[in-house]
Amino acid sequence: MGSRAGKRYAKAIIELAQDEKLEDKLLENFNSIQSTISNNKNLRLMLASPLIEVSKKEAVLLEVFDSVETLVKKLIKTLADNNRVELLEDVSQAYIELYNSIHHIQSATVITAVEMNKELEEKVQSKIKEITGYTANLTNQVDESILGGFILRLKDLQFDGSVSSSLNRFKRQLS
C-alpha cells in the first residue's frame, strides 16, 4: 500500500527522526495525520484536487496539524515545494510501517465470538510468537457466528481455530 515516492519520503524522515531521537514522537504524529486524513473525506478531496493551489493546501495542512513536531512541518513544506502534498497520507502510512518493521512490531486482527479477555489475548500472543517469533498489536473483532475459539489474521496468514470452522471440517469428513 502507498506510493514509492511516499516510501522514499518516509525513509528519509525516519532517518532524520532517528538522528534527532524523535522516532516515537513522529510515530504519534503520523498516526494522527494518517487517521485524520483517512477519516476526513473533505481533506482527502482537497489534497487531491488540482484546482486548489499548493500554497493553500500547505496552509490548511499546517493549520490542521499545528501541534506536530517541527520535522513533520518541514516535511509538509517540502512536499508543498515539490508539489506532492497529496502524498502526506502515503508518507504517514509508510512511516508507520517502517517504524513497526524496525521495532519488530506487527499488527494482527483477532476475530472472536465474544470480547477477548486477558487469557485469550495471552493465548493469541503465544500463537503469534510461535508463528513469527514476535508479538503484535492486537485488534479484536467480535463475530458471534464463529461460535467459539478465534480466527487470527496476521499479514497474509490466517489461523482459524474457530468452533464453526471445526464443525465445518467435521461435517465435510462425514459426507
pLDDT digits (tens, 9 = 90+) for 36-83: 999 999 999 999 999 999 999 999 999 999 999 999 999 999 999 999
Q: Which residue's entry shows cell 480466527?
A: 151
Same domain, 36 and 16: yes
To the nearest whole percent, how much of the chain has pLDDT over 70? 99
Same domain, 85 and 144: no
Residues of the domain holding 136: 106-174
N-terminal to C-terminal alpha carbon distance within the chain: 42
32-36, 91-95, 97-101, 106-110: the lowest-pLDDT one: 106-110
DSSP helix/strand/coil, 158: strand
The residue ranking higher by pLDDT, 33 or 110, is 33
Same domain, 14 and 79: yes
Q: Which residue's entry shows cell 479477555?
A: 117
pLDDT of residue 114: 87
d(CA 20, CA 90): 22
Closest Cα to residue 108, out of 138, 82, 129, 80?
Answer: 138
89-103, 134-148, 152-166: the lowest-pLDDT one: 152-166
Same domain, 29 and 97: yes
Q: What cell does 156 get?
A: 497474509
pLDDT digits (tens, 9 = 90+) for 100-138: 889 888 888 888 888 988 888 888 888 788 878 887 888
**Residue that terminates a domain, selected from 102, 119, 151:** 102
Same domain, 15 and 91: yes
Which pTM does this prediction carry? 0.73
How far from 98 is each of 84, 93, 95, 162, CA to CA, in Å?
Answer: 20, 9, 5, 32
